[in-house]
Chains A and B, each alone.
Chain A
């Protein structure tokens, strides 16, 4: 069980780091949004699942309460994060930011 906790925390920290690296290194808004949102959502799922597993394994009423609340927080994060990033990408395109290196632009041709 302890091995599982370390594996989940390792995966979570690795993917959160890749998201932060993508935010630093990618060339324009859309690629940054792609890297940062997907990697931080995946990493946050794994750190939260690590917390849930730890609290259930500890036992006791207080720890089970903590685990269930962490699951609810994970659910809120899973619903809100892709929706917000979708709205951000749509807003960036409508405010006139061009994709980096784009050759064909079907939005402008309409």
Chain B
């Protein structure tokens, strides 16, 4: 039954590759909204990556960090969206 840790590290490597693709969009997106979309995608992938690595190393602390990172990146996305709209009305 035991899946070896190499499975978790392969999944983590794939997620890192996809986050690098999202960072390409973050670097060369034409508008500011494109960059915000790329940043949101990077945040989602990093949360998934932290959960997989927390299972690979048997550390529940990494998953707690992932929870806090998800909530903080949500707040950051909301701030960027509000800034792109042109502030509060």
A residues in contact (CB < 8 Å) with B: 1-2, 5-6, 9, 12-13, 16-17, 19-21, 23-24, 29, 32-33, 36-37, 40-41, 43-44, 47-48, 51, 54-55, 57, 62-63, 65-66, 69-70, 72-74, 76-77, 80-81, 83-85, 87-88, 90-92, 94-95, 97
Q: Give the interface size class of chain B.
A: 35 or more
Which of B1, B22, B54, B63 counts the most chain A CB atoms within 10 A?
B63
Output the nearest chain B residue to A29 by Cβ-Cβ distance.
Answer: B33
Total cross-chain contacts (CB, 8 A): 168
Q: Judge whether A95 and B41 touch: CB under 8 Å.
A: no
Shortest beta-carbon distance from A52 to chain B in Å:
9
